[in-house]
Structure 1
Amino acid sequence: MTRARVNFVLFAAAAIGAGWLGLALDRFTGEDGSNGVAFSESQGTLGQLVFILGPAIAALGLYLLSRDGAGRLGLTLRFASRTKWFALTAAFYPAVSLVAVGSGVAAGAVAWSAEPATGRPTLIAATISVLAVQLIKNPIEEFIFRGYGTRTAAALGLPGRLTPHLLAGAVWAAWHLPLYLVWTSASDMRLVTSLPTALFLPLLFAGLMVAAVLYGEVRMRTGSIWPGVVMHTRRQRGHHAAAAQRARDVHGAQRRDLLTGAVGGHRDGADRNCRSGPHLRCPKFTQPMVAHRLTSD
């Protein structure tokens, strides 16, 4: 087995196992695993710190101590057509969101309100509050799965242009399992999606695989993870805070997240309370996490 293959196997084991190790740590310290910490306003847990930093430390350690000739980690900001790539990646997901939400408006499934619901933050405040945590988390996540994962998978010499992206994407998707299966409470899962978990997870995985191809291909073409960081941040927070916070259900049924699964998109936690009445009206989606939270992709 080549050094690159050994490194990728070790990397995959470390990334997938980090969350489960973090859960074991939480249980050892008496932290309730399924306590809604993934989407609540709490400070998270020590196990969740292991979940996000463990794979990063493993990737950096393998890069420094087990040289495989697979190339650099893509941390550079110097690459050809830099302005074009940053502009393209910044605009991509807002355009997708516009199509997704516009389709909902055209179909009568979504209405828009220019003002936030009573007690809800303004659009600008919601965007700023969710951006802070993403500016910490997303560079770490892209370093792990595109900076090291895609780079190492590409060195395996497997046939197919998409194969490295799909391999790294499979590890990335599996990394999310502890987050949704344990750290996210049942009540918060109902805020993430109206779908049953058995259906939501395969769709989430499919969306993440598509995103892995997008971010990975940009990383390979530019030699840098930073355009992917921009895409990742725009997918998760830029357009979600701008669009999902202002979308509301006009049919009196369940909340709908039109952005879920849109080219790999998935929405995080929303407001927990719905007001009942002649027509059920759920408050506009917001992101309640505070800036120091590192979880949730």
Structure 2
Amino acid sequence: MKTKRNLIIFIVVVLLSGWLGVFVDRFITEQPKGDTLGMGIWLVLPLLTTILLRAFAGDGWRDIGLLPNLKGNIKWYVVSLLIYPVITSTVLLLSYIFEWMGFPDFNLDTIVSVFVGGLLIQFVKNFFEESVWRGYLTSKLSSLKINDFWLYFMVGGVWGAWHIPYFLVFLSESDIFSVLPVNRWLFALIGIVTMICWTVMYTEIYLMTKSIWPLVLMHMTEDALVNPLILDGYIKIAQGKEFFVSPTAGIITTLLYLMVGLILRTKRKKLEKEIVSKSTTTAIVKI
């Protein structure tokens, strides 16, 4: 009952945090574009809420996932680092073969420099973000033993809905059009669906490792690699093909990430069965 109550409080605060930020920004003029006080409120309030719920509402700190749990999980750290680069490279290669994408300003040295230069700030940013979405929301919902697919939908839905004020207000139209040629409302809908699909692989790696650190690394890689490719203009997608091969929200791209997540789920289920089988065999031998 306590967990359900706190989850309701958390979700309500999360869904209101961005709109509170929008409201605050209306009273403060001449703020830096893309770095307003309202955006700060939107970013910080979910994390602050988890801290308060853990400290004062009985949630505790044991399930936050701060331990790296490296034993037996090194391969999942490697997978986390490779997922976005491999899928992005696959989409770029397919797009090149079918002439759906051009690379007039593509410079590998520059891209690597931008990627490496962005790793630290993205690592810090995504430590706080993954402490919320995996370390709190996924952890608490999974403790309720809900169906896997409901878990993906609820975590991804809340994660996506938290972005709605960002999509509708904070994000510039030029950034939206660099990803997809759609209006803000459709972009928000596509963004939410994309995050629900992404949530499958994030959730599965978290459930296998019980640690937020591989997710921090994965999210860091996505932000440092994929976003600059589009926002900094290193790739040019043919008109009308953005919906299929956008490295952020294209249909093909999103389906590939969903496929990776479902493969990870199959692997986790297999590992769980092996553990149960070993435990049963050990119990029989002791008897």
TM-score of the alignment, normalized to the shorter chain, above 0.5: yes
How many residue pairs get matched? 251
Q: Any stretches of 5+ residues in structure 2 without a counterpart?
A: 258-287
* 1:131 matches 2:119: yes
Structure 1: state its 5+ residue gaps: 39-43, 267-297
Looking at structure 1, the residues matched to 93 and 174 of structure 2 have their Cα atoms a distance apart, in angstroms, of: 29
Which amino acid counterpart does residue 137 of structure 1 have in structure 2? Answer: K
Aligned to 1:29: 28
Matched residue, 2:169: 182
Structure 2 counterparts to residues 252-271 of structure 1, below 5 A: 253=239, 256=242, 258-261=246-249, 262-263=253-254
Cα displacement (A) at 1:3: 0.6
Confirm whether residue 197 of structure 1 aligns to residue 189 of structure 2.
no
Larger fraction in helix: 2
TM-score by length of structure 2 reads: 0.77
Q: Which residue of 2 aligns with 1:20?
A: 19
Instruction: Please say if residues 209 and 264 of structure 1, whose CA atoms lie closer than 8 Å, have aligned partners that are also in contact.
Output: no
Q: 2:95 aligns to what? A: 104
Q: Distance in 1 between matches of 2:193 and 2:248?
A: 11
Structure 1 residues 211-237: Cα deviation after superposition (integer angstroms, max 9, x where no partner): 122112211111101111111122222
Alignment partner of 1:231 out of 193, 196, 218: 218
Alignment partner of 1:208 out of 177, 184, 195: 195
Are 2:24 and 2:37, in contact at CA under 8 Å, matched by a contact in 1?
A: yes
Given that 1:14 and 1:58 are in contact with CA atoms closer than 8 Å, whether structure 2 keeps it comes out as: yes
What is the CA–CA distance in structure 2 between the aligned matches of 1:55 and 1:203, rounded to whole Å?
22
SS of 1:166's equivalent in the other structure is helix
- Which structure has the higher relative contact order (CA within 8 Å, separation 6+)? 1
Following superposition of structure 1 onto structure 2, how do residues 43-58 of structure 1 map, counting pairs within 5 Å? 44-58=35-49
Structure 2 residue aligned with 1:63: 54
User: Is the contact between residue 77 and residue 214 of structure 2 (CA under 8 Å) also seen in structure 1?
Assistant: yes
Residue pair 1:59, 1:144 contacting (<8 A) in 2 also: yes
Structure 1: distance between partners of 2:87 and 2:26: 40
Other-structure match for 1:291: none
For 2:5, the equivalent position in structure 1 comes to 6
Shift in Å, 1:112 = 3.4
**1:241 to partner: Cα distance:** 3.9
Identity %: 25
Q: CA deviation at 1:196?
A: 3.0
2:110 maps to which of 119, 122, 125: 122
Check the 8 A contact 2:116/2:224 in 1, yes or no: no
CA RMSD of aligned residues (A): 2.9
Structure 2: how far apart are the matches of 1:149 and 1:61? 14
